[in-house]
Amino acid sequence: MNLNKVRDGISLRKMMLAALLLTLGVATGCAVNPVTGQRELGFISEQRELTIGQQQYTPSQQSQGGQVTVDRELSAYVNRVGQRLAAVSDRRLPYEFVVLNNSVPNAWALPGGKIAVNRGLLIELNNEAELAAVLGHEIVHAAARHGAQAMERGMLLQGAMLVGAIAAQGSDYADYIVGGAQLGAQLMTQRYGRDAERESDAYGIRYMAAAGYDPSAAVSLQEVFVRLSEGRQSGLIDGLFASHPPSQERVNNNRALVAQMRAEGITGGELGTERYQQATAFLRETKPAYDAFDEAEKLIAEDRLEDAAQRVETALRMVPDEARFHGLQADIMVYQRRYQAAVSRYDDAIRRDPNYFDYYLGRGVAYARQGNNRRATEDLQASIKLLPTAMAMNELGTLSLASNDRAAAKQYFGFAADAQGPVGEQARAAFMRLDIADNPGQYIAVQPYVNQGGRLLARIENRSPLTVRDVTIEFQAVVVGQVQSRSVGLAQIASGQGGELDSGINFPAGVMPAANQVSVTVLGARVD
Ligand SMILES: [Zn+2]
């Protein structure tokens, strides 16, 4: 669901984004790294790592396409391989492994051992040992605290910079993730640095061997990466290649590591080719359907909705039970303003997979456009439980306004204002409309002064990007011991405009009041 395609156009100058404050557990201490055995400074406790992993796992999966649901055996299989490696790792963590419904070759680990691998990577691998090399590498990222270290070094950005950085790395919903879930988006697209990558390769290979896999698969895996990255322009490098630049150097390094292990007498191990081919047979068989689905998404971005609809039809004929296909078909219907049809198609998607935010978001929008505010609110709230997006927050803000709940509307728009792009702009404008009425003094500057004739005046300026109306200003002055106050009204002031206000209050000739004897306050204003 891309709300740029269904929004009502409001364009506004970009405002400062509210900075997202990452609340980290702060207690500096020295500890031994569980993998490397080296002493290191760290202030993120293990409990904090576990909490981050726990909290960010769902939104991180959601923002990357959600889990593969048509082939449940596949996730169970990948988890089995992962647990086999986790059992020999240097650190006990509540490791979990899931397969994401995403064609980009990628894998990531969050602190606390929460790991994911994309369908698009699994299809490129040749055997279980190569999968073990991927998972072993990610296990080391979690076990050796690479994510926590990145946070401790302040490598993670905040607020607007953060959102921009994620967007640049191509996370599908990066522009739209708001609030705490931005942390996960950042952790999973994190570049840990060369040392951490080398560490993950080196220990990952040892975990593979200890779990009974042939470590030479770590070499063939790097060769797969080099092959995959060939012919990609650097600007298009995404997923694993953004965080793990493939190179002949890494192939050579891994080859040297394997040779060293052989010299240490670590030999043997299985490749598990047949088992892997069996476990991923459905993936390979259905690849053309997912290719058609990916093409449909590109066509939608180009506004070629009819062509996109045809591609989705093709995909659905091949895999009728793929919820994402039903969901995309429904999205297209929303863009075409066929809301009723869209709702029933979203129902089809949710019946097949009730755990993906986008179906609720899309259905919520479709209900809202049909005027069914109650169902719209329910669906949008369900969507933000899975992944807080600016789109859902914006819609909920609008629905709150429709039911005259200004306070709730402000909160929703405030959340959405975190996002980049048109949705964020729309939210910032909506927030400001409400906030100008609540706090007009924050947006309208007034400065009192007394002219040579002893008249109390004020300069006024509208510093908001909107035209404000019905501005009420109150002057107060102590004139020869007497408090006088006057209200002055202004019908409207355009953005950036200002002028002079006359209070009508006079000081006697030769009396210059002290600064604390005059005041001017903006009492009220509104925006259409
Ligand atoms: Zn890595």
How wide is the angle at C-alpha 24 spanned by C-alphas 19 and 28, nearest 5°? 135
Question: Average of pLDDT values for 338-343?
Answer: 98
Q: Does the pLDDT of residue 378 top 90, yes or no? A: yes
Neighbours of 304 (CB within 10 A): 14
- Predicted confidence at residue 68, as pLDDT, reads 97
State the distance from the centre of ligand 1 to the C-alpha of 113, rounded, in angstroms: 13
pLDDT digits (tens, 9 = 90+) for 409-445: 999 999 998 887 888 888 999 999 999 999 999 999 9
> What percentage of the chain reaches a pLDDT higher than 70?
87
**Contact (CB, 8 A) for 174 and 231:** no
CA 166 – CA 152 distance, rounded (Å): 19
- Predicted confidence at residue 464, as pLDDT, reads 92
State the distance from the centre of ligand 1 to the C-alpha of 97, rounded, in angstroms: 16
Q: Does residue 11 form part of some domain?
A: no
State the distance from the centre of ligand 1 to the C-alpha of 520, rounded, in angstroms: 60
**Contact (CB, 8 A) for 28 and 41:** yes
Residues 131 and 255 both lie in one domain: yes
- Predicted confidence at residue 181, as pLDDT, reads 73
Residues 115 and 52 both lie in one domain: yes
Residues spanned by the domain of 480: 440-526
The residues near 133 (Cβ < 8 Å, ≥ 6 apart) are: 204, 205, 208, 213, 215, 217, 218, 221
State the distance from the centre of ligand 1 to the C-alpha of 207, rounded, in angstroms: 15
Report the number of distinct structural domains present in the chain.
3
Q: Does residue 25 form part of some domain?
A: no
**Can you read off the two tokens belonging to residue 517?**
């004897």
- Predicted confidence at residue 189, as pLDDT, reads 67
Q: Does residue 181 form part of some domain?
A: no
State the distance from the centre of ligand 1 to the C-alpha of 203, rounded, in angstroms: 12
**Contact (CB, 8 A) for 434 and 442:** no
State the distance from the centre of ligand 1 to the C-alpha of 107, rounded, in angstroms: 9
Residues 104 and 222 both lie in one domain: yes
Q: Does residue 90 form part of some domain?
A: yes
Residues 382 and 505 both lie in one domain: no
- Predicted confidence at residue 469, as pLDDT, reads 95
State the distance from the centre of ligand 1 to the C-alpha of 238, rounded, in angstroms: 14
Q: Does residue 145 form part of some domain?
A: yes
Q: Does the pLDDT of residue 236 top 90, yes or no? A: no
Count H helices, E strands: the chain?
22, 11
State the distance from the centre of ligand 1 to the C-alpha of 111, rounded, in angstroms: 13
Residues 116 and 201 both lie in one domain: yes
State the distance from the centre of ligand 1 to the C-alpha of 197, rounded, in angstroms: 5
Q: Does the pLDDT of residue 525 top 90, yes or no? A: yes
Query: pLDDT-derived band of residue 155, with 50, 70 and 90 as boundaries?
Result: low
Q: Which range (222-226, 305-309, 344-348) has the least confidence?
A: 222-226
- Predicted confidence at residue 455, as pLDDT, reads 94
**Contact (CB, 8 A) for 253 and 200:** no
Q: Does the pLDDT of residue 22 top 50, yes or no? A: no
State the distance from the centre of ligand 1 to the C-alpha of 3, rounded, in angstroms: 33
Q: Which residue has the higher pLDDT, 118 or 232?
A: 118
Q: Does residue 417 form part of some domain?
A: yes
DSSP string, 182-230: HHHHHHHT----HHHHHHHHHHHHHHHHHTTB-TTHHHHHHHHHHHHHT
Question: Average of pLDDT values for 460-464?
Answer: 95
**Can you read off the two tokens belonging to residue 332?**
């297209």
Q: Which range (26-35, 58-67, 93-102, 305-314) has the least confidence?
A: 26-35
DSSP string, 394-412: HHHHHHHHHTT-HHHHHHH
Q: Does residue 165 form part of some domain?
A: no
State the distance from the centre of ligand 1 to the C-alpha of 147, rounded, in angstroms: 10
Residues 137 and 40 both lie in one domain: yes
How many angstroms separate the Cα of 450 from the Cα of each of 162, 459, 489, 502? 47, 11, 19, 10
Counting Cβ atoms within 10 Å, is residue 208 exposed (0-12), middle (13-18) or buried (19+)? Answer: buried
Characterize the bridge pairing of strands 114-118 and 96-100. Answer: parallel
Rg, C-alpha atoms of the chain: 29
- Predicted confidence at residue 171, as pLDDT, reads 45
Q: Which range (50-64, 178-192, 367-381) has the least confidence?
A: 178-192
Q: Does the pLDDT of residue 320 top 50, yes or no? A: yes
Residues 245 and 259 both lie in one domain: yes
Domain boundary among 395, 419, 438: 438
Q: Does residue 175 form part of some domain?
A: no
Q: Does the pLDDT of residue 3 top 70, yes or no? A: no
Q: Which residue has the higher pLDDT, 42 or 159?
A: 42
Characterize the bridge pairing of strands 498-506 and 518-526. Answer: unpaired
Counting Cβ atoms within 10 Å, is residue 165 exposed (0-12), middle (13-18) or buried (19+)? Answer: middle
How wide is the angle at C-alpha 28 spanned by C-alphas 27 and 33, nearest 5°? 115
Query: pLDDT-derived band of residue 83, with 50, 70 and 90 as boundaries?
Result: very high
**Contact (CB, 8 A) for 117 and 135:** yes
pLDDT digits (tens, 9 = 90+) for 189-222: 667 778 888 899 999 999 999 999 999 999 999 9
pLDDT digits (tens, 9 = 90+) for 241-263: 666 667 788 889 899 999 998 89
Domain boundary among 283, 308, 340: 283
Round the average pLDDT of the chain to a whole number and report it: 87
State the distance from the centre of ligand 1 to the C-alpha of 254, rounded, in angstroms: 13
- Predicted confidence at residue 167, as pLDDT, reads 45
State the distance from the centre of ligand 1 to the C-alpha of 355, rounded, in angstroms: 28
- Predicted confidence at residue 161, as pLDDT, reads 47
Neighbours of 268 (CB within 10 A): 9
Residues 299 and 380 both lie in one domain: yes
State the distance from the centre of ligand 1 to the C-alpha of 432, rounded, in angstroms: 42
Q: What are phi and psi of 385, to 5 degrees?
A: -65, -35
- Predicted confidence at residue 474, as pLDDT, reads 96
Query: pLDDT-derived band of residue 23, with 50, 70 and 90 as boundaries?
Result: very low
State the distance from the centre of ligand 1 to the C-alpha of 78, rounded, in angstroms: 18
State the distance from the centre of ligand 1 to the C-alpha of 199, rounded, in angstroms: 9
Residues 200 and 57 both lie in one domain: yes
What residues sit around ligand 1, an ion, with C-beta below 5 angstroms? 197, 200, 244
Q: Does the pLDDT of residue 235 top 60, yes or no? A: no
State the distance from the centre of ligand 1 to the C-alpha of 201, rounded, in angstroms: 8
- Predicted confidence at residue 307, as pLDDT, reads 98
> What is the four-CA torsion angle of 59, 65, 68, 69, rounded to 10 degrees?
80
- Predicted confidence at residue 241, as pLDDT, reads 64
Residues 406 and 459 both lie in one domain: no
Domain boundary among 283, 300, 323: 283
Q: Which range (177-181, 311-315, 329-333) has the least confidence?
A: 177-181
State the distance from the centre of ligand 1 to the C-alpha of 134, rounded, in angstroms: 9
State the distance from the centre of ligand 1 to the C-alpha of 243, rounded, in angstroms: 7
- Predicted confidence at residue 238, as pLDDT, reads 57
Domain CATH number, residue 498: 2.60.40
Q: Which range (1-5, 403-407, 479-483) has the least confidence?
A: 1-5
Q: Does the pLDDT of residue 13 top 50, yes or no? A: no
- Predicted confidence at residue 184, as pLDDT, reads 75
Residues 100 and 196 both lie in one domain: yes
Question: Average of pLDDT values for 128-147?
Answer: 94
Q: Does the pLDDT of residue 168 top 50, yes or no? A: no
> What percentage of the chain reaches a pLDDT higher than 90?
66
Question: Average of pLDDT values for 82-101?
Answer: 96
Q: Which residue has the higher pLDDT, 161 or 186?
A: 186
CA 156 – CA 154 distance, rounded (Å): 5
**Can you read off the two tokens belonging to residue 5?**
């395609």
Q: Does the pLDDT of residue 338 top 50, yes or no? A: yes
Residue that is written with structure tokens 């680990």 in the block: 109
Domain CATH number, residue 399: 1.25.40.10
Residues 219 and 368 both lie in one domain: no
- Predicted confidence at residue 449, as pLDDT, reads 93
